[in-house]
Amino acid sequence: MMANLSQSQSGTRPGLFLDRDGTLIEEKHYLSRPEDVELLPTVGETIARMNSLGIPVAVVTNQAGIARGYFPESQVAKVHARLDELLAEFGARIDRYEYCPHHPVEGLGDYRIDCDCRKPKPGMLTRSAAALQIDLPRSLMVGDRMGDLEAGANAGCHSSLVRTGYGSSISIDFDHESLRFLGAFQTLKEAVETWLDL
Ligand SMILES: [Mg+2]
Ligand SMILES: [Zn+2]
């Protein structure tokens, strides 16, 4: 796949989609305070490597704590600014953040909608792909829950699980007919290396 990077057709390229909580940073149950952001091992170096390879990186995160009224939507930008700060220490950069503030049942007011972005729906991935000229079939979604893997499948990407966050204890359900599952990995680095070697 790497050989194709410089020869991509029609201006598209493979991209990396990353869940946030439990995948990039410690899972802290509706995290909303910047001071609670803690990077997981290998995340900084792995994203820096993607940056140097010219592979766009998009964070796609369900934030139903907003819909549920646990924290205001304005906290999300503060958390992402803190994440950017921690990644900068590794020379690493996220190209795009997408979050879903909705919940179809538990949401308050306007946040209670059956949106197209809440994973396992693929809306955040397809929007990022359009914005960053990403070729979905060559791309990878990494997360710590089945909903992440399914979102990757629903977008037509490969999917990999990390055994951090909820991923340390879940069993994998292979029932999704279009799941292109690459495996369960202890770190983001291992998940990404397996994909780059395809
Ligand atoms: Mg997660
Ligand atoms: Zn949504």
b/e code 87-116 from CB counts within 10 Å (16+ = b):
beebebebbbbbbbbbbeeebeeebeeebe
Q: Which amino acid is at 154?
A: N
The number of the ligand nearest the C-alpha atom of 64 reads: 2
CA 167–ligand 1 middle distance (angstroms)? 8
CATH number at residue 126: 3.40.50.1000
- Residue 178, pLDDT score: 76
Residue 174 included in any domain = yes
Residue 197 appears among annotated catalytic residues: no
Residue 189 included in any domain = yes
Residue 2 included in any domain = no
Does residue 3 surpass a pLDDT of 50? no
The mean pLDDT value for 80-98 works out to 98
CA 50–ligand 2 middle distance (angstroms)? 27
Instruction: Answer for the pair 167, 144: CB distance below 8 angstroms, yes or no.
Output: yes
Residue 166 included in any domain = yes
Protein residues within 5 Å, CB atom, of ion ligand 2: 100, 102, 115, 117-118
CA 117–ligand 2 middle distance (angstroms)? 4
Residue 135 appears among annotated catalytic residues: no
Contacts of 75 (CB under 8 A, 6+ apart): 32, 33
The pair of three-digit structure tokens given for residue 36, joined into one six-digit string: 């609670």
Residue 8 included in any domain = no
- Residue 11, pLDDT score: 57
Give residue 114's pLDDT band: very low, low, confident or very high (50, 70, 90). very high
Does residue 147 surpass a pLDDT of 90? yes
- Whole-model pTM: value is 0.94
The number of the ligand nearest the C-alpha atom of 104 reads: 2
Residue 82 included in any domain = yes
Does residue 4 surpass a pLDDT of 90? no
Does residue 174 surpass a pLDDT of 80? no
- Share of residues in the chain with pLDDT > 90 (%): 89
Does residue 150 surpass a pLDDT of 70? yes
Q: 135: domain range?
A: 13-196
Residue 97 included in any domain = yes
- Residue 1, pLDDT score: 52
- Residue 8, pLDDT score: 47
Q: Which DSSP helix (H) or strand (E) runs through 182?
A: strand 180-185
- Residue 177, pLDDT score: 72
CA 51–ligand 1 middle distance (angstroms)? 22
Instruction: Answer for the pair 151, 119: CB distance below 8 angstroms, yes or no.
Output: yes
The mean pLDDT value for 147-170 works out to 95
- Residue 6, pLDDT score: 45
Does residue 115 surpass a pLDDT of 70? yes
Q: Which of 19, 95, 144, 148 is catalytic?
A: 19
Q: How many domains does the chain have?
A: 1
